[in-house]
């Protein structure tokens, strides 16, 4: 999805839907993976010196920053005519 959105940008085409879909997918998957990592590592994952804790915080920020997942869903829905 990311490569397709980048390809459309390079061609100068409208890619609002594709960009929103790529952002939504990558941020949601990143958050799910880091949450699974937090569960796997247990209590150690919550310590500030743990890389996992930093990745988890970053992944949560990405689902909000630059347009929340809900906003991305709204943009996609509008682009497909819903």
Measured distance CA(68)–CA(81) in Å, rounded: 20
Query: Where do the structural domains in the chain lie, given as residue ranges?
Result: 2-79
Measured distance CA(48)–CA(68) in Å, rounded: 25
Q: Does domain 2-79 have CATH number 2.130.10.10?
A: no
pLDDT digits (tens, 9 = 90+) for 17-46: 999 999 999 999 999 999 999 999 988 888
Per the CB < 8 A criterion, the answer to whether 21 and 71 are in contact is no
The pTM for the full model equals 0.80
pLDDT digits (tens, 9 = 90+) for 51-79: 999 999 999 998 887 788 899 999 999 99
Looking at residue 45, the DSSP 8-state letter turns out to be G
């Amino acid at each position: 999805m990311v490569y397709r959105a980048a390809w459309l940008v390079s061609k100068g085409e409208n890619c609002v839907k594709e960009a929103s879909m790529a952002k939504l997918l990558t941020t949601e998957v990143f958050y799910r993976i880091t949450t699974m990592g937090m569960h796997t590592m247990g209590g150690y994952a919550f310590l500030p010196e743990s890389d996992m804790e930093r990745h988890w915080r970053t992944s949560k920020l990405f689902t909000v920053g630059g347009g929340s997942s809900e906003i991305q869903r709204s943009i996609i829905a509008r682009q497909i005519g819903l």
